[in-house]
């Protein structure tokens, strides 16, 4: 049994303002009777510090929406509403609630647990239109979560052989390619936004602490970051290989930005890199309309690892605002199926990124066919960044973040990944799958809305829905 | 047929105020003439004895825009046009896609009065989730059907195997879900049991043991044998008419349960035969069941111990739920209870609630058809749960192929739960869900009424 991978969480509050959901206002007809202080078990209501005859303004950050104060105030003087900030943040993909739960996970590293059943829409676009399977009678995979059995979340990056070849005397002819193991199916994708040096260093250190990798442009690799070079994947243009040869000598993987030239010259480029140092090459391909064709050609041309990058909402990246853009779930499935069709799927590693916003997206992306995922924005949301989708993407960092100690920032990122790792274990435990590698492309262990809805209600709903279109 | 013993009582809320849907605003133009107080029959406007000024309007009593047609509509009546009505922003903070604010309010009204709300502004039968039950609509014939409501029977038999065991018939095709002692308070459990006996149906102990106060209701209690086997004793198996095996729960399929140490108080520990203050895990799955043959052994064990009891098997809804159901049938189960992925819980990881296993709407059809093809449909009772919120959901579940349903969250909401979702946290429910049984009985009446 391999050594158990465990992410140790450490409660790390960040003393900065963040989004909260409810706002309680005290009306003028409050008689300062203090009933609310007695009924609220979360201590949202307190008497004034300076003047205890008066009630202080409600501390609504702690409000858990139990309605006790509202319903028991003798004068009906309290009013509650959804906070404006909460309503404005995010957009149609990055839902307001996500910010609060990511922030919370970064603070305590725990799996978000609540009472009462699911509250959201029945289904939604993309990843929201699939469910993962479970096994009623299985080996006790669940025990893995309590530590008696091991659920491995590690994945392998690199090119693999389709089959082994032997000579007549039984000697192995094939050359086995090198691969790199990382313990979670998540790598970090460095956000392009202007980050303060402490945040930059902290995220790199978190990647090192977790034993995963971070994709980083060479300009960002400053002296303090160089210490973690084994966990860094420098991203360069294929024209700059020579210029960065000193850097390539120190790393395990290097990423190349895709352009059309790479389609044909990939074997030479990979050779060239291998001559400098034995590193694996990732080709970073934007998820355009024809992404599956490009990935297929790259794979046939010997690509080791292909990183498919959708936009920040997990949508196809063709520059247009058209409504027909595919979503992550469909992009990954198309890429995966194309490679299966070409009988080359097992030979190449696919990383998917773009719109991986919650822990559930990791196993879902893998079920659709990715080997692993890359994330960027959740790392920043863990640090209090606010994201707005409308009118255009806007990312705001909290004031004072640049002064926070590197350790604190790093711990929050580690906590977030700890919570995600535990959630991945929950999903795998329920499915009875004990190796994350086996999630890849296991669509039989997923339930897709389109299929099951059609099977069950097709006859009932079809007519009306076609009419609506 | 509704048991004739059920009496409907009006059970007002425990709280001073309800959550208002509308906001009634009185502007500075008000001259405190008191016209509104005289005209509003609902008591929104008040001028207290000895006061010159009008009180702040009591929003929750207002019936809203539908009042416009009435000649006592305060907004029109006010000589200074000082009154206005708008939607209250507070209403947005109540409920969610599945349990909308209207549905919660409607359920509260039903629990209070025993009848469906008279107000026309509440969409209390369907939620806003956009799929499943919320997308299905019942088709009602035009005009009043000429059926005497007293001729409609709502009873269903639970034993369809003809095996000489108890011929259990429940008067309403719904019974109460398993909520363990520890996850809900004792008064809540007793309320549920009392309601079940009034309505000639069942309630379930959950897996935390069988509190003694439930013994007077033995004939209406299902005792659960779950993976932790907490509180399972020979005598608890022998005193009931139905024993339920819980393999999995819809809200956290494949994850088992976990009672936090702080909730494991002295009395809970005694009931569960455990050490006080320790965290108690209900593992997943049954560590004695790794095949359908093991499962049969389990059922045989119960049948041997209580020769008259029916056996119910509660499973959640994976892709192969149909196979599981047929397997359970061949193993000798009387009731197949499928719990859908969107079901209720006292605590579950959010990731599990949303993503693991399919919603009940699909599973019912899947299991129903599979049992039918197997020729076993008429020999087993199919019970659905996990997202049955209203009488309409119940009817829809039956239309899809279930025989009956189990409700849990609806019971909690009738006891004035607001679904804030903090049941699991340190001090537990902020509202101390523990109320009178009559409220629950009223909800049943209202559901019954809707069903007819």
- Per-residue confidence (pLDDT) for residue B332, from 0 to 100: 95
- Per-residue confidence (pLDDT) for residue A469, from 0 to 100: 41
- State whether residue A188 is helix, strand or coil: strand
* Chain B CB within 8 Å of residue A180 CB: no
Weakest-pLDDT range from A361-370, B14-23, B106-115, B177-186 = B177-186
Question: Tens digits of per-residue pLDDT, B294-308?
Answer: 899 999 999 999 999
Query: A423 to chain B: nearest residue by CA?
Result: B351
8 Å CB contact between A209 and A410:
yes
- Per-residue confidence (pLDDT) for residue A17, from 0 to 100: 83
Evaluate if residue A89 carries a pLDDT over 90.
yes
Shortest distance, CA B362 to any CA of chain A (angstroms): 6
Q: Which of residues 347-366 of A touch B (CB under 8 A)?
A: 358-360, 364
Nearest to B349 among A64, A426, A447 (CB): A426
8 Å CB contact between A310 and A283:
no
Antiparallel, parallel or unpaired: β B83-87 and B335-339: unpaired
Report chain A residues whose CB lies below 8 A from the CB of B361. 456-457
Q: Choose, out of A122, A447, A455, the residue to mutate when testing the contact with B (most B CBs < 10 Å).
A: A122
Please state the rounded mean pLDDT for residues B238-251.
92
Is A113 in contact with B349 (Cβ distance < 8 A)? Answer: yes
Please state the rounded mean pLDDT for residues B140-164.
85
Q: Which of residues 59-88 of B touch A (CB under 8 A)?
A: 59
pLDDT band at A468 (very low <50, low <70, confident <90, very high): very low
Shortest distance, CA A169 to any CA of chain B (angstroms): 45
Q: What is the DSSP letter of A178?
A: P
Report chain B residues whose CB lies below 8 A from the CB of A75. 56
Nearest to A429 among B254, B342, B386 (CB): B254
Shortest distance, CA B55 to any CA of chain A (angstroms): 9
Is A115 in contact with B289 (Cβ distance < 8 A)? Answer: no
Shortest distance, CA B320 to any CA of chain A (angstroms): 8
* Chain A CB within 8 Å of residue B425 CB: yes
Q: What is the DSSP letter of A398?
A: P
**C-alpha span between A441 and A368 (Å, rounded):** 5
- Per-residue confidence (pLDDT) for residue A46, from 0 to 100: 94
Is B356 in contact with A427 (Cβ distance < 8 A)? Answer: yes
Start-end of H helices in A211-327? 223-226, 245-248, 260-276, 291-300
* Chain B CB within 8 Å of residue A27 CB: yes
What do you get for the CA distance between the two ends of chain A, in Å? 54
Evaluate if residue B431 carries a pLDDT over 90.
no
Evaluate if residue B436 carries a pLDDT over 50.
no
Query: A132 to chain B: nearest residue by CA?
Result: B356
pLDDT band at A105 (very low <50, low <70, confident <90, very high): very high
pLDDT band at B3 (very low <50, low <70, confident <90, very high): low
Whether CATH 3.20.20.70 fits B134-451: yes
* Chain A CB within 8 Å of residue B424 CB: yes
Mean pLDDT across chain A: 91
Nearest to A423 among B13, B351, B357 (CB): B351
Report chain B residues whose CB lies below 8 A from the CB of A71. 13, 15-19
Which residue ranges make up each domain of chain B? Answer: 22-92, 134-451
pLDDT band at B434 (very low <50, low <70, confident <90, very high): very low
How many A×B Cβ pairs under 8 Å? 244
Evaluate if residue B214 carries a pLDDT over 60.
yes
Please state the rounded mean pLDDT for residues B174-192.
86
Structure tokens that stand for B161 in this block: 């195997």
Task: Tell me which fold the domain A141-452 belongs to.
Answer: TIM Barrel (3.20.20)
Peptide bond before residue A260 is cis, with ω within 30 degrees of 0: no
Structure tokens that stand for B391 in this block: 């009488």
Mean pLDDT across chain B: 88
Please state the rounded mean pLDDT for residues A3-26.
90
Whether CATH 3.30.70.20 fits B22-92: yes
Q: What are the two backbone dihedrals, phi and then psi, of residue A320, each rounded to the nearest 5 degrees?
A: -90, 160
Q: Which of residues 373-432 of A touch B (CB under 8 A)?
A: 423, 426-427, 429-432
Please state the rounded mean pLDDT for residues A310-339.
89
8 Å CB contact between A300 and A338:
no
Is B422 in contact with A132 (Cβ distance < 8 A)? Answer: no
Query: A42 to chain B: nearest residue by CA?
Result: B430
Antiparallel, parallel or unpaired: β A186-189 and A180-182: unpaired
Evaluate if residue A374 carries a pLDDT over 70.
yes
Please state the rounded mean pLDDT for residues B92-97.
95
pLDDT band at B229 (very low <50, low <70, confident <90, very high): confident
Antiparallel, parallel or unpaired: β A232-236 and A253-257: parallel
8 Å CB contact between A315 and A308:
no
- Of B188 and A417, the one with more pLDDT: A417
Please state the rounded mean pLDDT for residues B409-422.
90
Report chain A residues whose CB lies below 8 A from the CB of B353. 114, 117-118
Q: Which of residues 363-382 of B touch A (CB under 8 A)?
A: 365-366
Q: Which residue has the tokens 């929950």?
A: A426
Query: A121 to chain B: nearest residue by CA?
Result: B129
Q: Which residue has the tokens 């993987």?
A: A253
- State whether residue A26 is helix, strand or coil: strand
Question: Tens digits of per-residue pLDDT, A217-237?
Answer: 999 999 999 999 999 999 999
Which of B133, B53, B113, B84 is closest to B387 using CA atoms?
B133
- Per-residue confidence (pLDDT) for residue B352, from 0 to 100: 94
- Per-residue confidence (pLDDT) for residue B301, from 0 to 100: 93
Please state the rounded mean pLDDT for residues A105-114.
94
- Per-residue confidence (pLDDT) for residue B307, from 0 to 100: 95
Report chain B residues whose CB lies below 8 A from the CB of A133. 318-319, 356-357
* Chain B CB within 8 Å of residue A120 CB: yes
Question: Tens digits of per-residue pLDDT, B263-272?
Answer: 777 888 888 8
- Per-residue confidence (pLDDT) for residue B427, from 0 to 100: 60
* Chain A CB within 8 Å of residue B309 CB: no
* CB count in 10 Å sphere of residue A347: 19
Q: Where are the beta strands (DSSP E) in A166-315?
A: 180-182, 186-189, 214-216, 232-236, 253-257, 280-286, 305-309
- State whether residue B368 is helix, strand or coil: helix
Structure tokens that stand for A23 in this block: 């706002």
> What torsion, rounded to 10 degrees, do the Cα atoms A401, A406, A411, A417 define?
80
Evaluate if residue B446 carries a pLDDT over 70.
no
* Chain A CB within 8 Å of residue B91 CB: no
- Per-residue confidence (pLDDT) for residue A143, from 0 to 100: 55
Query: A456 to chain B: nearest residue by CA?
Result: B362
pLDDT band at A145 (very low <50, low <70, confident <90, very high): low
Which residue ranges make up each domain of chain A? Answer: 22-82, 141-452
Evaluate if residue B253 carries a pLDDT over 90.
no
Q: What is the DSSP letter of B91?
A: G
- State whether residue B15 is helix, strand or coil: coil
Report chain A residues whose CB lies below 8 A from the CB of B349. 111-113, 423, 426
Give percent above pLDDT 70 in chain A.
Answer: 94
pLDDT band at B432 (very low <50, low <70, confident <90, very high): confident
Q: Choose, out of B56, B57, B87, B93, the residue to mutate when testing the contact with A (most A CBs < 10 Å).
A: B93
Domains A22-82 and A141-452 share a fold: no
Q: Choose, out of A136, A365, A434, the residue to mutate when testing the contact with B (most B CBs < 10 Å).
A: A136
**C-alpha span between A249 and A431 (Å, rounded):** 42
**C-alpha span between B422 and A257 (Å, rounded):** 47
Please state the rounded mean pLDDT for residues A334-349.
97
- Per-residue confidence (pLDDT) for residue A321, from 0 to 100: 62
Q: Choose, out of B255, B352, B369, the residue to mutate when testing the contact with A (most A CBs < 10 Å).
A: B352
**C-alpha span between A130 and B50 (Å, rounded):** 63
Which of A362, A337, A336, A360 is closest to A349 using CA atoms?
A336
Q: Which of residues 199-228 of B touch A (CB under 8 A)?
A: none
- State whether residue B314 is helix, strand or coil: strand
- Per-residue confidence (pLDDT) for residue A345, from 0 to 100: 97
Peptide bond before residue B285 is cis, with ω within 30 degrees of 0: yes
- State whether residue A306 is helix, strand or coil: strand
Report chain A residues whose CB lies below 8 A from the CB of B341. 118, 131
Query: A66 to chain B: nearest residue by CA?
Result: B420
Query: A72 to chain B: nearest residue by CA?
Result: B16
Which sign does the torsion angle of CA A73, A77, A78, A79 carry?
positive
Structure tokens that stand for B245 in this block: 């095996």
- Tell me how many helices (H) and strands (E) chain A has: 14, 17
Is B285 in contact with A41 (Cβ distance < 8 A)? Answer: no
Q: Is A277 exposed, middle or buried (0-12, 13-18, 19+ CB in 10 A)?
A: middle
- Thinking of the domain A22-82, which architecture would CATH place it in? 2-Layer Sandwich (3.30)
Which of A192, A252, A255 is closest to A228 using CA atoms?
A252
Q: Which positions ≥6 away from B328 have C-beta within 8 Å?
A: B295, B313, B315, B336
Evaluate if residue B49 carries a pLDDT over 70.
yes
Which of A112, A199, A111, A109 is closest to A380 using CA atoms?
A199
**C-alpha span between A292 and A306 (Å, rounded):** 11
ipTM of predicted assembly, 2 dp? 0.91
Evaluate if residue A144 carries a pLDDT over 80.
no
Give percent above pLDDT 90 in chain B.
Answer: 59
- State whether residue B101 is helix, strand or coil: helix
Give percent above pLDDT 90 in chain A.
Answer: 80
Rg of the Cα trace of chain A? Answer: 25
Report chain B residues whose CB lies below 8 A from the CB of A461. 135
Query: B251 to chain A: nearest residue by CA?
Result: A117
Q: What are the two backbone dihedrals, phi and then psi, of residue B64, each rounded to the nearest 5 degrees?
A: 85, -155
* Chain B CB within 8 Å of residue A65 CB: yes
Question: Tens digits of per-residue pLDDT, A114-130?
Answer: 988 999 999 999 999 99
């Amino acid at each position: 049994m391999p050594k158990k991978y465990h992410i140790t969480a450490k409660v790390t509050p960040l003393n900065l303002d963040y989004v909260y959901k409810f706002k309680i206002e005290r009306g003028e007809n409050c008689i300062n009777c203090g009933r609310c202080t007695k009924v609220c078990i979360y201590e949202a209501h307190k008497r004034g510090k300076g003047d205890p005859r008066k009630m202080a303004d409600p501390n609504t950050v702690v409000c858990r929406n139990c309605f006790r104060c509202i319903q028991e105030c003798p004068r009906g003087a309290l009013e509650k509403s959804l906070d404006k900030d909460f309503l404005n943040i995010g957009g149609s993909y990055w839902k307001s609630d996500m910010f609060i739960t990511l922030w919370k996970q970064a603070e305590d590293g725990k799996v978000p647990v609540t009472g009462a059943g699911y509250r959201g829409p029945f289904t939604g676009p993309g990843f929201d239109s699939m469910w993962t399977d479970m096994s009623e009678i299985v080996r006790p995979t669940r025990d893995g979560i309590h530590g008696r059995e091991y659920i491995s979340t590690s994945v392998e990056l690199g090119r693999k052989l389709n089959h082994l070849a032997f000579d007549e005397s039984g000697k192995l002819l094939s050359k086995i390619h090198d691969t790199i193991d990382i313990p979670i199916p998540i790598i970090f994708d460095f956000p392009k936004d202007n980050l303060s040096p402490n945040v930059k260093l902290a995220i790199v250190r978190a990647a090192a602490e977790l034993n995963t990798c971070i994709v980083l442009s060479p300009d960002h690799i400053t002296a303090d970051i160089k210490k973690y070079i084994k966990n860094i994947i420098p991203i360069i243009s294929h024209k700059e290989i020579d210029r960065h040869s000193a850097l390539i000598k120190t790393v395990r993987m290097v990423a190349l930005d895709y352009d059309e030239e790479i389609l044909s010259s990939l074997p030479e480029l990979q050779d060239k890199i291998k001559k400098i140092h034995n590193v694996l090459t990732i080709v970073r391909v934007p998820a355009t309309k024809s992404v599956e064709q490009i990935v297929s050609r790259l794979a046939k041309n010997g690509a080791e690892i292909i990183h498919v990058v959708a936009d920040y909402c997990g949508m196809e990246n063709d520059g247009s605002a058209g409504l027909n853009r595919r979503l992550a779930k469909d992009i990954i499935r198309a890429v995966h199926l194309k490679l299966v069709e070409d009988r080359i799927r097992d030979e190449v590693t696919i990383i998917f990124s773009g719109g991986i916003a919650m822990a559930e997206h990791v196993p879902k992306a893998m079920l659709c066919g990715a080997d692993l995922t890359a994330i960027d924005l959740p790392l920043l949301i863990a640090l209090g960044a606010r994201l707005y989708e409308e009118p255009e993407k806007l990312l705001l960092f909290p004031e004072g973040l640049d002064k926070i100690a590197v350790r604190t920032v790093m711990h929050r990122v580690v906590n977030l990944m700890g919570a995600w790792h535990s959630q991945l274990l929950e999903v795998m435990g329920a499915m009875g799958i004990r190796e994350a590698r086996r999630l890849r492309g296991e669509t039989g262990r997923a339930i897709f809305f389109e299929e099951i809805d059609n099977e069950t209600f097709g006859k009932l709903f079809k007519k009306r829905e076609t009419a609506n279109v | 047929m509704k048991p004739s013993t059920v009496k409907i009582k009006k059970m007002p809320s425990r709280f001073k105020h309800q959550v208002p849907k509308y906001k009634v605003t009185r502007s500075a133009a008000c001259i405190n003439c008191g016209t509104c107080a005289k005209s509003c029959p609902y008591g929104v406007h008040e001028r207290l004895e000895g006061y010159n000024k009008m009180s702040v309007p009591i929003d929750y009593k207002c019936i809203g825009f539908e009042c416009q047609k009435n000649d006592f509509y305060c907004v029109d009546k006010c000589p200074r046009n000082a009154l206005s009505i708008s939607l209250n922003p507070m209403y947005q903070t109540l409920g969610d896609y599945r349990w909308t604010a209207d549905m919660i309010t409607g359920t509260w009204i039903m629990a209070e009065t025993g009848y469906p709300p008279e107000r026309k502004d509440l969409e209390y039968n369907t939620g806003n989730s956009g799929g499943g039950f919320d997308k299905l609509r019942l088709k009602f014939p035009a005009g009043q059907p000429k059926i005497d409501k007293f001729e409609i029977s709502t009873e269903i038999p639970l034993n369809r195997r003809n095996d000489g065991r108890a011929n259990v018939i429940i008067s309403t095709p719904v019974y109460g879900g398993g909520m363990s002692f520890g996850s809900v308070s004792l008064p809540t459990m007793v309320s549920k049991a009392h309601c079940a006996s009034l309505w000639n149906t069942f309630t379930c102990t959950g897996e935390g043991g069988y509190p003694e106060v439930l013994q007077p209701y033995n004939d209406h209690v299902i005792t659960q044998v779950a993976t932790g086997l907490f509180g399972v004793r020979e005598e608890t198996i022998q005193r009931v008419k139905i024993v339920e095996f819980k393999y999995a729960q819809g809200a956290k399929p494949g994850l088992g349960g976990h009672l936090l140490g702080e909730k494991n108080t002295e009395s809970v520990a005694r009931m569960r035969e455990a050490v006080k203050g320790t965290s108690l895990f209900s593992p997943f799955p049954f560590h004695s069941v790794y095949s359908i043959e093991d499962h049969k052994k389990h059922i045989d064990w119960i049948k041997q111990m209580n020769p008259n009891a029916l056996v119910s098997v509660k499973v959640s809804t994976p892709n192969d739920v149909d196979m599981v159901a047929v397997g359970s049938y061949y193993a000798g189960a009387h009731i197949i209870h499928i719990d859908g992925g969107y079901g209720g819980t006292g605590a579950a990881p959010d990731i599990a609630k949303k993503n693991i296993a399919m919603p009940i709407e699909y599973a019912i059809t899947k299991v129903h058809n599979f049992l039918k093809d197997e020729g076993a449909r008429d020999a087993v009772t199919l019970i659905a749960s996990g997202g049955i919120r209203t009488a309409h959901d119940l009817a829809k579940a039956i239309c899809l192929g279930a025989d009956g349903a189990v409700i849990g969250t609806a019971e909690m909401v009738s006891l004035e739960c607001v679904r804030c979702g903090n049941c699991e946290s340190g001090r537990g429910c902020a509202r101390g869900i523990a109320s009178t049984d009559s409220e629950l009985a009223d909800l049943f009446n209202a559901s019954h009424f809707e069903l007819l």
